[in-house]
Amino acid sequence: MSRRQLERGAALRGVVTSDGIVPLGAGFPVDGSGPDFDCDVLHLDMDAFFAGVERLRRPEARDRPVIVGGTGPRGVVSSADYAARRHGVHSAMPMSRALRLCPDALVYPPDGARYRRVSEAVMDILRSFTPLVQPLSLDEAFLDVSGARRVAGGPARIAATIRERVRAEQGLTCSVGVAATRLVAKLGSTHCKPDGLLVVPTATVQRFLDPLPVGALPGVGDRTEERLARLGLRTVGALARADVELLRMELGEKAGVRLAELSRGHDPSPVVTDAPDKSVGAEETFSVDVDDPDLVDRELLRLSGKVAHRLRATGQVGRTVSVKLRRADFSTITRSRTLTESTDVAHEISLVARELHASSGLRGTPLRLVGVRVEGVSPAELTPRQMTLGEEDTGWRDVERVMDRVTARFGPGAIQSAILAKSDENDV
């Protein structure tokens, strides 16, 4: 979506042709017999979802910019509506800066339970068209509508009907990209936000991709974008025309080949329903910067407990432990270590997390945020734990499962480790 479109608040509902983007109604059939005949993948993205939900239930927000996020002195923006975005507000921005940019905004704390309920209602709308729905988060999902044509019409018509139902039943707007691959469908929904619908037929995929910045492609972060810029590759079109061998040399075999494929619109990944989590994590932003290593280690222990509890609750284990450490200036580092055996035990996760903190070079450095994540997640029943010859079972897994049962019966905080309990007493 262009800056001009965002500023005027116009919605884009069109199809990419060899002559550019033309409106959906200008001789473009929406029954599946037109250029969308092989565009079976849809990507739906709710528009400023959290802010939109808050605006619906708050009459005072009708004509005011809305920001959702932490309201304390260290609060961070979770979501901002398009009125606030026009002032430069965006997610992950410190709330103090957001309010300097947009002083007229109304700020509301996140209401996760309400957002989940609305999200479930939207996903139910999608599943009424096809069972092949892959939620990516509360506010976006992929759909494969190849089996829905006979009943619901072509992909463009299905996308238009979904948008109408979301507006009518939930009072919210969404943007939908329609294409033959997940990559192009997602880029299409991004291009037509807010409140838009964009069809990218296979024949015009390259025309659509060529002018996009390389940073629009998944996997291209700031550092990769800088490396590509040094090679003179700033657009997807330039990347598509680059020598693959050059990309291999600069980015590595796997990353170089993958970016070359993506720049040409090649993405074989299917829509996968009920895709399992690839990682489970938790993080905490301190109310004031913390430079006491012991306090940081206690927080890493607490977060490890949350992660382990979630793993056990979903019947999963993971093999790689990583920590996120964010300094006061928002610069962030991550460190990780792969274990010899997968685990769902907080004691084991926290030992690694604290060792990673100790070896990070930031021990004693003021930190504003810490996080713990377990990656390489797989079902526990498919990953049996193997004990090394001579190794004794420490019993931590059994202890933590007992803690799970106590928590389930008496609520969070009913039982915790002695270290954390002592820390809480000192905080009183």
Domain ranges of the chain: 1-209, 212-263, 279-384+391-427
| pLDDT tens digits for range 14-38 | 889 888 888 877 666 766 667 788 8
Contact between 16 and 39 under an 8 Å Cβ cutoff? The reply is no
* pLDDT mean over 325-333: 87
The better pLDDT of the pair 100, 312 is held by 100
Q: Which single residue is written with the structure tokens 């709308």?
A: 125
The better pLDDT of the pair 28, 257 is held by 257
Looking at residue 393, its pLDDT comes to 47
Scanning 288-374, the segments in alpha helix (DSSP H) are: 293-313, 346-358
Distance of CA 225 to the CA centre of its chain: 20
Report the amino acid identity of residue 143. L
Does residue 120 carry a catalytic annotation?
A: no
Among the listed residues 7, 54, 140, 284, the single catalytic one is 140
CATH 3.30.160.20 fits 1-209, yes or no: no
Q: Rounded distance, CA 73 to CA 71, Å?
A: 7
DSSP 35-62: TTTT--EEEEEESSHHHHHHHHH-GGGT
DSSP 10-44: PPPEEEEETTEEEETTSS---SSSSTTTT--EEEE
Domains 1-209 and 279-384+391-427 share a fold: no
Q: Rounded distance, CA 12 to CA 141, Å?
A: 20
CATH 3.30.1490.100 fits 279-384+391-427, yes or no: yes
The better pLDDT of the pair 68, 383 is held by 68
| pLDDT tens digits for range 259-285 | 999 999 999 889 988 666 678 888 888
| pLDDT tens digits for range 156-208 | 999 999 999 999 999 999 999 999 999 999 999 999 999 999 999 999 999 99
Cis peptide before 201 (omega within 30 of 0): no
- Please report, to the nearest 10 degrees, the dihedral formed by the alpha carbons of residues 52, 58, 59, 64 taken in order: -60
* pLDDT mean over 309-318: 86
* pLDDT mean over 141-162: 89
Which residues, other chains included, contact 280 with Cβ-Cβ below 8 Å and sequence gap of 6+?
A: 307, 310, 311, 314, 316, 318, 373, 374, 377
141 half-sphere exposure, CB direction, 13 A CA radius: 27
* Domain 212-263: which CATH number of 3.10.129.10, 1.10.150.20, 1.10.3720.10, 3.30.70.920: 1.10.150.20
Contact between 209 and 184 under an 8 Å Cβ cutoff? The reply is yes
* pLDDT mean over 135-139: 91
Q: Rounded distance, CA 201 to CA 210, Å?
A: 15
Q: And the tokens for 25? A: 């109604």
Lowest mean pLDDT among 31-35, 233-237, 312-316: 31-35
Confirm whether residue 139 is marked as ligand binding.
yes
- On whether the pTM is more than 0.85, the answer is no
Q: And the tokens for 214? A: 């390389």
Q: Rounded distance, CA 99 to CA 90, Å?
A: 11
Q: In terms of Cα–Cα distance, which of 341, 346, 359, 366 is closest to 300?
A: 346
* pLDDT mean over 103-111: 94
Average pLDDT, the chain: 85
